[in-house]
């Protein structure tokens, strides 16, 4: 059973989705693993988050007050703000098997998004095929996203040193002789 939803899908495609965060200023962490229940369970990695005004062509105004002062003096301001996050799809589960390719259908609009439980993250990252999907991302700094996802996965793998070594070997295969990118990712994994 899932914990409370962390967002709701408001934009979708076969490769990614946009969700409105349930709580203002509290999107899931960059590089964290999330899921959407559709015909099958769709797994994704958070690649971007932002808070903005409901009016797309209007920026928020600086009031030179702390957030608490604004909440006390003008709480209506926060009714006009929304936090959204974007996630790149890394695979889906069908008939109990995780498939590391794009789902046949995108997640449905208004589907709830949930954080993946540690055991789910461990299961979907036990094969490092999800890294191939992250290598294709162009919306976010690829090296930052890959490093963040590996750090998130390493937190839930018992004996995470072995997981990190396995991830490093997989990166060598995927990146080839782009030593600068490999070095950057490995440095950011340790950060």
Give residue-wise pLDDT tens across range 101-110: 999 999 999 9
Structure tokens at 165: 């070594």
pLDDT, residue 143, reads 94
Flag whether 181 is in a domain.
Answer: yes
Domain membership of residue 129 (yes or no) is: yes
What pLDDT was estimated at residue 1?
47
User: Is 53 a domain residue?
Assistant: yes
Q: Is residue 37 part of a domain?
A: yes
Please report, for residues 39, 166, 185, the alpha-carbon distance to residue 141 in angstroms, rounded to integers and kept in the order given: 31, 22, 11
Is residue 1, in this structure, part of any structural domain at all? no
Assigned domain for 2 exists: no
Query: Helices 160-175 and 142-156 sit at what angle, rounded to 10 degrees?
Result: 150
Which stretches in the chain have pLDDT values below 70? 1-2, 160, 191
∠ Cα 14 42 91 (to 5°): 75
Closest CA to 87 of 37, 169, 31: 31
Which residue range is the domain that position 105 belongs to? Answer: 7-190
- The whole-number pLDDT of residue 18 equals 97
Residue 142 lies in a domain: yes
Is 54 domain-assigned? yes
- Work out how many domains the chain is built from and give that number: 1
């Amino acid at each position: 059973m899932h914990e409370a939803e962390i967002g709701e899908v408001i934009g979708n495609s076969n490769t990614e989705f946009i969700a409105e965060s349930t709580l203002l200023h509290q999107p899931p962490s960059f590089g964290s693993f999330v899921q959407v229940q559709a015909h099958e369970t769709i797994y994704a990695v958070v690649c971007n988050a932002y808070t903005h005004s409901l009016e797309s062509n209007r920026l928020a105004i600086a009031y030179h007050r702390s957030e608490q002062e604004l909440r006390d003096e003008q709480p209506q301001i926060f009714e006009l703000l929304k936090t959204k996050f974007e996630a790149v799809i890394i695979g889906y589960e069908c008939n109990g098997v995780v498939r590391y390719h794009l789902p046949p259908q995108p997640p449905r609009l208004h589907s709830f998004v949930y954080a993946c439980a540690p055991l789910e993250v461990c299961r979907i990252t036990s094969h490092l095929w999800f890294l191939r999907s992250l290598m294709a991302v162009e919306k976010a700094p690829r090296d930052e996203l890959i490093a963040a996802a590996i750090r998130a996965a390493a937190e839930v793998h018992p004996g995470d040193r072995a997981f990190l070594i396995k991830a490093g070997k997989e990166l060598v295969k995927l990146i080839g002789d782009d030593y600068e990118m490999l070095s950057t990712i490995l440095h950011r994994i340790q950060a």
